[in-house]
Amino acid sequence: MKLVIVESPAKAKTIQKYLGSEYSVIASNGHIFDLPEKSMGIDVSDNFKPSYVVSPNKKQQLDAIKKLLKQPHEEVYLATDPDREGEAISWHLASNLNIPFDSRVEFNEISEKTIRKAIQNPRPINLSLVNAQQARRVLDRLVGYKISPVLTIKIRKGASAGRVQSVALRMIVDREREILKFVPEEYWNINACLLKPSEKKHPFKALLADKSGVKLKVTNTEQANQILADLGHAQNWIVNKVKRGTSKSRPAPPFMTSTLQQDGSQKLGLTAPQVMQIAQQLYEGIEVAGHGHLAFITYIRTDSVRVSAEMQQEALNMIKSTYGAEYAPAKPNFYATKSQNAQDAHEAIRPISLEITPESVKNSLQRNQYRLYKLIYDRFIASQMTEAQYSTLNVHIQAKISDSENYGFKVSGRTLLFKGYMIAYETERSPKEIEDGETSDLLPDLQENDVLALTKILSEQKFTKPPSRYTDATLIKAMEENGIGRPSTYATVIITLTKRAYCKKEQKYMIPTELGISVTDFMMLYFKEIIDIHFTADMEAKLDKVEQGLKWEALISDFYPRLTNCITQAVKATSQKHNNEEVSDTICELCGSNMVIRDGRYGKFLACPNFPNCRSHKPIKEIVAKCPKCGTGNILKKKSKRGTAFYGCDNYPECTFLSWDVPAPMLCPTCQGPMRVVKKQGTTNYVCIDKNCKTSVAPKEQELDAN
């Protein structure tokens, strides 16, 4: 009997099916040994030596592995995931369970052929990969463990910082501030609707571009009206320039982790964490009717777009037989990885077998499993196909106003000559191609000196738009472009920002909360270097170099003094009240200090400035009006246990006034019952809550000011 140790139960089940009864396959369920949960676990004085312990929820799994190891085995194979984390898991298991260090096996896909080949070629554990994982783990633990307590004291209990998390939050906050500071600029689009008299079935629009050959930008109503008036006197509309050509569109490379998360978000409407969760299922294996437990795709944590020569040839054969020889390039397509720091250890994300088409397994997959597999499958096939080809037409048209003055309009179009890869994977046109009617797919056969007929002029006032808030896809793209984090961490970062209530989602957009803004402002004030984008990217590059032999302890020892200096300065500078804390007139009932207003997960609240020595806190009482029932109490806005707003008197229980509507500060003059505030079309009125009474009173001017 031979023993194989993998990471996940689903993966173990798939591999067990391929290896049969000669092997026993068991999962570690991720890291069994890790840094302790309730202490830092790093000896700063001993060259940052980490202290690993058995994770509390992994003791049972460790016992199961030990029990199997006690049985006689011909060989033991460590087959954890083929990345830094997987290498570290194997190292921990070998170090603690007396497993030979040369029993590491690695495979990029879970297929019988690949697994058996890997088992025939075990290798030693790669200590450079292990050190690369340890460097990140230690650095992240130091940043989180050292900064988070300061945030907890100064911002809110449970607030946390992270080496990558805090930078991503800063990017979201910076974008929000860009939007708030944005001042829209007016501009006008003026389009001429034109016809070639001999081809009346093909009307088209052309966009105003210049005046007498000088580029023209219309920025106000007066300018637009003057142009429209001039065009009303145009003597003729003539085609004065025609440029014909051809263009090609190359297919996109197969997916890597970041682009899979981006397309999964944009095209399927999934969050980045959902994409990674479903992709993990497709990688580890799913029960399929007629096939048993089947893995669908290669390893999902990669920043490479490389494809094996064997798989490229298989794809070309499939393309020729399915679509025709003209859709297969003469030589296989090769793609360069954009990032200089990319790890090219694995192939791109692709199907394991092209024979397992999405349609053939649709009934065995959940809806999103099928959709994501189809996205991966189609993208890979398209990446190995020929280019799409277009004929292009760029036209410039003159509207002659006088002998010395004319307005120029432009229009461009293209016609698909050969679909190429688009027969398998349709791509969306870019916004630039369809912007403001400048591009038309269908144009008549225009020639220079053609005289055109004007049917109408369309003018539209527009305003420049602020930059868009980040979505999962655009945040991942920005992090990737700036070298922040690594593809395997993007989804985790997004989960953390939402879980910590630093961001909230409105539709698909990420909006920083007041708490997220407060944390970022504090970090910018005292830990500016830690959340500097360029510094973080440089640190990421150095961490990658650990795989190439850079001593990770030296990297940490260079960074640590700067971290501790920032913490010292932050604690010293904030030992007194924060400059940005608003002092209230509410007295702390425990120590007598004036309470301060702070930001919390659910908004602002009152807190004692002497925290943590005094932990008194209370909600801010929002006074809406004087109580109409008792006349002495204040009506406060409160929340029920379900979070629903209601209004009650602060003299409770002496006064039992209660309302779900915003109450007016007076009783109904007709029935003496409560009234509510009704705002409609800019007008405020007090309306009796008794539907039978229906009395409505306009508030006095001083009452309106109060409200």
Could you write out the DSSP letters of every residue in 95-143?
HHHT--TT-B---SS--HHHHHHHHTS-B---HHHHHHHHHHHHHHHHH
Residue type for position 349: I
- For 415, phi and psi rounded to 5 degrees? -125, 135
Angle between helices 552-573 and 533-545 (to 10 degrees): 150
Name the 3-class secondary structure at 585. Answer: strand
Query: Rounded to whole angstroms, how far apart are CA atoms 435 and 145?
Result: 49
Are 636 and 621 spatial neighbours (Cβ–Cβ below 8 Å)?
yes
- Residue 82 CA to its chain's centroid (Å): 25
CA pair distance 666, 652, nearest whole angstrom: 18
Measured in degrees and rounded to the nearest 5, phi and psi for residue 231 equal -65, -25
Residue type, 394: N
- Parallel, antiparallel, or unpaired for β 674-680 and 663-667? antiparallel
Is the distance from CB of 136 to CB of 35 less than 8 angstroms?
A: no
With residues binned 3-state (H G I as helix, E B as strand, rest as coil), the percentages for the chain, rounded to 5, are 40, 25, 35
| DSSP three-state, residue 630 | coil
φ/ψ of residue 293, rounded to 5: -80, 120
Cα-based distances in Å from 37 to 53, 474, 500:
9, 33, 18
- Residue 490 designated active-site: no
Dist CA 297 CA 315 (whole Å): 15
Whose structure tokens read 């048993």? 292
398's CB contacts (< 8 A; 6+ apart) are 237, 238, 240, 406, 407, 408, 409
Look up tokens 């070629």; give the residue: 121
Q: Is 9 helix (H, G, I), strand (E, B) or coil?
A: helix
Task: Give the number of other CB atoms < 10 A from CB of residue 188.
Answer: 19
Edge-to-edge strand ranges of the sheet holding 634-639: 622-626, 634-639, 645-649, 658-659
Q: Read off the amino acid at residue 590.
A: L
Pair 309, 266: CB distance under 8 Å = no
Please answer whether residues 362 and 318 qualify as being in contact, where contact means their C-beta atoms are separated by less than 8 angstroms.
no
Are 14 and 110 spatial neighbours (Cβ–Cβ below 8 Å)?
yes
Q: Which of 77, 283, 299, 526 is an active site residue?
A: 299
CA distances (Å), origin 93, targets 7, 54, 59: 11, 11, 13
Q: Which two tokens stand for residue 472?
A: 């999962």
User: Tokens 């190292």 map to which residue?
Assistant: 91
Cα–Cα distance for residue pair 33/567, rounded to 1 Å: 29
Q: In terms of C-beta distances under 8 Å and separation of at least 24 residues, what long-range contacts does 38-42 make, across chains too?
A: 40/141, 40/142, 40/145, 41/141, 42/138, 42/141, 42/142
Number of other CB atoms surrounding residue 198 within 10 Å: 9
For residue 622 the two structure tokens come to 């929002």
Q: How far, CA to CA in Å, does 82 sit from each of 6, 297, 299? A: 11, 14, 8
**Segments in 182-220 forming alpha helices (H):** none
**Contacting residues for 549 by C-beta, under 8 A, at least 6 apart:** 128
Please report which residue ranges of 472-607 form alpha helices under DSSP H: 472-482, 487-499, 514-526, 533-545, 552-573
Residues taking part in catalysis: 299
